[in-house]
Amino acid sequence: MFFLLRCVFWLTIVYAAIFWPKDFDRKAAADILPKTRQLAGDALEQARDEIVRSCVSAPAACLEASGYLNLPSAARAPLGRTRPPPREAADRP
C-alpha cells in the first residue's frame, strides 16, 4: 500500500513538471482537479483504514513496524530479521 502512495506522489511531481503547450486548455484541467483531489483523498482514507485494521488485528506487529518509521531508510532491516554486519573493505593491491 505504501508503494502505491509513493508512486502517486512521484507521478504527481512528474505530471506537474511536464511542459504544457501554449494552446493547452486550462479550463478543462481545472475541471479535472476536484475529481483528482477526491480520488487521492479516497486512496489515503483506504490506506488509513487498512493500517488501522492491521494494527487492531496484530498490535504487537504494528508496534514493531512503527518503531522502524523513525529510522533512516539505510538503517531499516526487514521485519523479523536482523541486519547482517557490514562487510570489511577489500584490500586492493
pLDDT value of residue 74: 54
Model confidence pTM above 0.85: no
More confident residue, 92 or 26: 26
Cell triple for 10: 512521484
**DSSP symbol at 29:** H
In whole angstroms, what is the distance from residue 20 CA to residue 43 CA?
Answer: 27
pLDDT at 39 over 70: yes
More confident residue, 1 or 73: 1
In whole angstroms, what is the distance from residue 12 CA to residue 50 CA?
Answer: 23
Q: Which residues contact 51 (CB under 8 A, 6 or more apart)?
A: 1
